[in-house]
Chains A and B, each alone.
Chain A
Amino acid sequence: MELLTNLTINGLATGMLIFLLAAGLTLIFGLMDVLNFAHGGLFAWGAYSSVWFYALTDSFVLAILGAILTGVILGFITEKLIIKPVYGNHVQQILITLGFMLVLTEMLKVVFGPNQIAVRTPENLVGSWEIGDVIIIKYRVFIIIVGFLVFGIFQYILKKTKIGLIVRAGVLNKEMVQTLGINIKNVFLYVFIAGASLAAIGGALFAPYSGVIYAEMGMEYAILGFIVVVIGGMGSFPGSLLAAILVGLVGSYMAYYVPSLSLAVNMIIMAIVLIFRPQGLFRAKG
């Protein structure tokens, strides 16, 4: 029982981190038809900058805000300089975002040094609760709560506000939105920045969770993010949450029961989904 609870909480926490990464990817793809291979770089930058801000201010809230700031700035730069020149050309988009990923990763090494950096958990989130004989680590619960909170906020924005309405309409039909007199290019920019900040928050939460950060983690988690986006259906926001939880749980159980398969299993799930149901398990709806 204890084991199962722990594995589940662990899987949910990992799933939430992947969700934060994948949510941006799926929104950006749904709206802009751009698959951002540099998204993992934004995740890694979020992690590094939060650690930097935490060391500076000693406040985890400020650290997360700092990561969001980094995400906003990098998102703005990425959209304006990297994505904008190649709208509509898929091959060029893939190539250029991958190149930017390379630059982001190397820049991390230039700024923060090439070695791994150890991260400590914020003081008020250290420790665990004991319920009966089950030990629950506080920080993991915290990640799960934040994940659902972010999901709730974004779902609210998407469903209840005007900008959310425009985004949802844009996912379904860009040209129609434009004919209604809305400058969709601006909406693209906002969505991209929002997606980048989500990735940065994910990175910021990831740093104390794993206890160590390194430049290559961006690519590693981006692959999980892609898997989630594919399984959840490109452009589907709730789909990415469900798929992320699935990937997180499967990864967590597999890592314990069949460790040699744990990395492979998610890729196998994605391959099966892609081959038999290329549109993903969920569809983007209006």
Chain B
Amino acid sequence: MTSKYQWNNIFLSIMVIALFIFPFVTDSRTWTILLTQIFIFSILAMSYDILLGYTGIVSFGHAMFFGMGAYTTAVMLDRIEPTIGVFVLSIATGMLITGIISFIVGLLTLRLKSHFFAMLTLALSGLFLVLAEKWRSVTSGNDGFTFRAPEFFKDRMMFYLVVLVCMVVVYFVLRRFVQSPLGHVLVAVRENEQRTKSLGYNTLHYKVIASVVAGVVASLAGSLYAISLRFVNTSVLTMDITLDALLMTIIGGVGTLIGPIIGAGVIELSQHFLSGLAKDYPIFERWIIFFGILYILVVIFFPSGIVGTIRQAFHKRKKQSVGKEEQSNSEEL
């Protein structure tokens, strides 16, 4: 078991170091921006996986937390001043606001059964979208507004490194979170909520905690996303953001933290290349259709996604080889 973790860690460290060195080796602007985008969506997808993969809750309202983070950062940088201090403050404020709102929302909605919860979150995020469109004095509605990013981020490379650090930190914090006793209770809720309840855990509390953690991390992703575009409009609150997180998590692998990162990479990269192909083959303008079909196939045939399926195959082989050894041993006897 330890050796497996060691291998995982070594592999991860190599990947992270390679990503850190990457911008120093190449100066391809496209790739820097693309990778930044992947890191931001990895953070979002990881936060979504805390709900979907670890706690077994399907929320269709994740975009509202992402959007709140994006708007907080954008509004504060625009209204106060574009400095690093305000940037850090805006991230903290965004997290605080989403923390409070996800706590209230969670407390009200998480006692419902999965169907009702999914519907209510869908409706609530719709409500927030409408609010943002109507509250024009702050959000400028659907037109959105541009703002100046801190001087420090003018260099795309600096921003790349900051986002990468954020992603790595979020990964380790969330890994610690899901491996803590609290995280194990969440998995127990996913596996069998009734039984967890009868063991004396107040499952509602645990689900609310999961929803707050997911909301706060999504808000961080939103803040970074706003900076990366230097523009924000109501699209950050739309269903598309939730769908992105959902596709990335499902395709990458639910119930793992690496899965969402891989999912984010796969989807952003294919989106990039498929929309590049659209010039020649118009069908690729609707690239999302391929993901929709892929997603359905994954849900039916590989419910544990890329990472989960690879892991299962790995375990199977190990088990088979162990089984064979036992067999040969017994034959010898």
Contact = CB atoms under 8 A, between A and B. Distances in A.
A271 B120 contact: yes
Contacts of B131: 264
A103 B289 contact: yes
Range class of the B interface residue count: 35 or more
B122 interface: yes
A98 interface: yes
A86 interface: yes
Interface in A231-286: 260, 263-264, 267-268, 270-271, 274-275, 278
A193 B130 CA distance: 34
A52 B118 CA distance: 34
A227 interface: yes
A106 B292 contact: yes
Interface string B289-301: 1011101100110
B273 interface: no
Contacts of A226: 119, 122-123
Contacts of B303: 92
Contacts of A13: none
Given A82-B296, A95-B246, A230-B119, A223 B126 contact: yes
Contacts of A96: 296, 299-300
Given A267-B124, A274-B120, A91 B114 contact: yes
A268 B131 CA distance: 13
B300 to A, nearest CB: 5
Given A85-B300, A260-B134, A94 B58 contact: yes
Contacts of A95: 58, 246, 250, 299
B66 interface: no
A91 B58 contact: yes
B283 A110 contact: yes
Contacts of B118: 35, 37, 94
Minimum-distance CB pairs A-B, first 8: A103-B292, A106-B289, A102-B292, A35-B115, A267-B123, A99-B295, A90-B114, A226-B119
17 contacts: A35-B115, A82-B296, A85-B300, A91-B58, A91-B114, A92-B299, A94-B118, A95-B250, A98-B60, A98-B243, A98-B246, A102-B292, A219-B239, A223-B123, A226-B122, A227-B123, A260-B134
